[in-house]
Amino acid sequence: MTLRLGTRRSALATTQSTWVADRLRELGHDVELVEITTAGDRDRTTPLATLGGTGVFVSALRDALRDGTVDLAVHSLKDLPTTPEDDLVVAGIPVREDPRDALVARDGLTLGELPAGATVGTGSPRRRAQLEALGLGLELRELRGNVDTRLAKVTDGELDAVVLAQAGLSRLSRTSVVTEVLDPIQMLPAPGQGALAVEVRAADTATRDAVAALDDADTRACVVAERAVLAELEAGCSAPIGALAEIVLGDDGDELSLRAVVASTDGTGELRRSATGLPADAERVGRALARLLIEDGAADLAPLNTVHTERHGA
């Protein structure tokens, strides 16, 4: 049986999906790529938060899964809403690429070398908020489009720099254009950034078993913790929230180290906190860190939808 793999049409999406397809082929499966156009692909100018934020690149792929057009779909995990779907399951989270953000600037400049007033493009409220918080006097511009469209804004001189995910540039073999990979101390990435999610129908046990072979336990633990922060705060990708988990060596073996930030959209304030725990307790660690952020005033910085005393749903 041929596995029909649903993918968005962009160069990055098809590269990611081809990578997954090749891993499945190495395991002996026949795989066919099926291109699906999403709302986020049809409208490349409207800010993502206006289009609907989390899920704008996901719903069409999920529809194709549900109606049987495809058997599995590959998402950038940071695009997936945190609310679980009863009929769908993320059966595989492969080894993660570099989760950090990257600066691509004119003349090989780093972030600290950009002069006050330099124009920097980003479509991410999270990146915008953290850049504003650094107090560098940069002029931030709204940015949409595929990777090449964004990079062209710098090479054509329209912008002095853009900020993109290092993972996407790496998958497209474009890391040579990066002038600085941003330290998470300066900018924490989006929850799940750099990771892929391979989603299947929950009832399709054959495809589910095939995809499960791609799962990486350490990557899954890290992204579960990061997304638990997002879920507990009840915030989507339009909220200025960053999180990064890593598996490190602790006194008693592997330990999960998690950092998160909630920032005001205008950069006037940000709140950073961290937590540690066992990789097996990733969900609990993430939710506990989110509750700490709430207790310390996160809701005063960002438009969260958190219910402090009574939660509705998971």
Catalytically active residues are: 79
- 8 Å CB contact between 168 and 153: no
Tell me the torsion sign for CA atoms 250, 288, 223, 217.
positive
CA distances from 107 to 100, 170, 181, 209 (A): 22, 21, 16, 49
Terminal-residue alpha carbon distance, the chain: 36
Tell me the torsion sign for CA atoms 247, 301, 145, 7.
positive
CA distances from 215 to 67, 199, 208, 272 (A): 25, 12, 11, 30
- 8 Å CB contact between 244 and 189: yes
Ramachandran assignment for 245, one of left (phi > 0), alpha (psi -120 to 50 degrees), beta (any other):
beta
Q: What is the CA radius of gyration of the chain?
A: 19
Token look-up 């990733």 returns 282
Residue 121, beta-bridge partner list: 141, 162
- 8 Å CB contact between 83 and 314: yes
